[in-house]
Amino acid sequence: MSATGSSGAPSGGGGLDADDAGERVDLGAGAASVEGRDTEHGADPTPPSWIDAHCHIQDGYLEDDGSLDATLAAASAAGVIGLVCVGTDVTTSLAALAVATRRDVPADVDGIAATAGLAMWATVGVHPHESTAGTDALATMARERLLGGDPVVAIGECGLDYHYDHADRAVQRNTFAEQVALAAELDLALVVHTREAWDDTLAILRAEGPPPRTVVHCFTGGPEEARRCLDLGAYLSFSGIVTFKNATDIRDAVVLCPADRLLVETDAPFLAPVPFRGRANQPAWVAVVGESIAAIRRAPVPVIAAATVAATRQAFAIR
């Protein structure tokens, strides 16, 4: 995957590039596609409920301006009951809030915009690629939007990316530390991006004091990194990378992670799970991620769905 998406939006996650994906590992029936679900032979036509803990479906990320309604409709049809739309700079954070506060929809859930029961929340943050922008404008906007009652549930995504190094590493570290402090100040969750920077990421979290609700998004470590994050009280959010053939360490981390700390995400429009590689990812496919995790953990899909929904609600303090 290139360093930037369309319209200059940062590329997704801390994960493997598209050409690293390989073929899908055989995860059994639990990893079945959400497309063409079998309802003719006694299968339950009602899918389990999921929350996509991390996606980018705001302006600047979607392929065209008219695709949001179709994206949300597909998600709802796949059993997605909520999603967290993630900002990566001030502009995309405001756009994420515009998605989460839509009023041109037919339903409403707890004062938060919904489509057919689909609740939406937003995060505001400065991605490590954008670290040179600093955090002053972000902090001002976050405080104002919280005072205005907008559904801001986290600071982020923020962190360190030593793979692309689009910003000086010292600047990345400072901007990340400031956002850790901002999340604590505002009593918000913290959404962390880390790529090839585990030691520095965890050192900053320890130095600043990790917010009680810290989410390591698109987790791409193995069991050792998982334990280090869990020891800090973090939640681990897993993406479609779990379906990649060469992601053995990540699948081992999936098994190790306690169910009450395990989240699922798409990182849409990036990191589409196998068998959808090469296509723009979408929140509907969080079901594929969840089904794959169920297969990895040898657990029933509805059990994983319920556990990840509960963990996501806890991580972001949402109902």
Q: Which helix (H) or strand (E) holds 154?
A: strand 152-161
Phi, psi dihedral angles at 159 (to 5 degrees): 150, -140
pLDDT at 142: 98
pLDDT of 18 higher than 70: no
Evaluate the omega torsion of the peptide bond into residue 48 and state whether it is cis, within 30 degrees of 0.
Answer: no
pLDDT at 154: 98
Question: How far is Cα 201 from Cα 161, in angstroms, rounded to an integer?
Answer: 9
How far from 247 is each of 26, 231, 232, 243, CA to CA, in Å? 12, 23, 24, 7
Phi, psi dihedral angles at 157 (to 5 degrees): -90, 140
Alpha carbons within 13 A on the beta-carbon side of 2: 7
3-state DSSP call for residue 209?
coil
Please calculate the CA angle 256-261-263 and round it to the nearest 5 degrees: 100
Assigned token pair, 217: 């998004």
140-165 burial code (b ≥16 CB/10 A, e <16): ebbeebeeeebbbbbbbbbbbbbbee
For the chain, domains (ranges, CATH) are: 48-316 (3.20.20.140)
How far from 254 is each of 97, 263, 271, CA to CA, in Å? 31, 10, 17
How far from 180 is each of 33, 54, 128, 147, 154, CA to CA, in Å? 37, 18, 13, 20, 10
- Which of these ranges, 101-105, 242-246, 287-291, has the smallest mean pLDDT? 101-105
DSSP 22-64: -SBP---GGG--STT---SSS--SSPPPEEEEEE--STTTSSS
Question: How far is Cα 271 from Cα 12, in angstroms, rounded to an integer?
Answer: 7
pLDDT of 296 higher than 70: yes
Position with higher pLDDT, 305 vs 1: 305
Q: What is the pLDDT of residues 171-208, one digit of tens each?
A: 999 999 999 999 999 999 999 999 999 999 999 999 99
Position with higher pLDDT, 19 vs 84: 84
- Which of these ranges, 44-48, 103-107, 216-220, 289-293, has the smallest mean pLDDT? 103-107
pLDDT at 114: 45
pLDDT of 30 higher than 50: no
pLDDT at 4: 40
Q: What is the pLDDT of residues 98-126, one digit of tens each?
A: 999 985 544 443 434 445 569 999 999 99
- For the entire predicted model, the pTM comes to 0.88
pLDDT of 163 higher than 70: yes
Question: How far is Cα 221 from Cα 241, in angstroms, rounded to an integer?
Answer: 11
What is the arithmetic mean of pLDDT over 304-311? 98
pLDDT at 107: 45
Question: How far is Cα 73 from Cα 197, in angstroms, rounded to an integer?
Answer: 37
Instruction: Note the Cα 255 to chain centre separation in Å.
Output: 19
Q: How confident is the model at residue 62 (pLDDT cuts 50, 70, 90)?
A: confident
What is the arithmetic mean of pLDDT over 26-30? 49
% residues pLDDT > 90 (the chain)? 76
What is the arithmetic mean of pLDDT over 305-317? 98
Q: Which helix (H) or strand (E) holds 141?
A: helix 136-147
pLDDT at 36: 42
Q: How confident is the model at residue 167 (pLDDT cuts 50, 70, 90)?
A: very high
Residue 111's CB: how many other CB atoms inside 10 A?
10
Residue 288 contacts residue 33 (beta carbons within 8 Å) = yes
Q: What is the pLDDT of residues 254-277, one digit of tens each?
A: 999 999 999 999 999 999 999 999
Helix axes 169-186, 136-147, angle to 10 degrees: 20
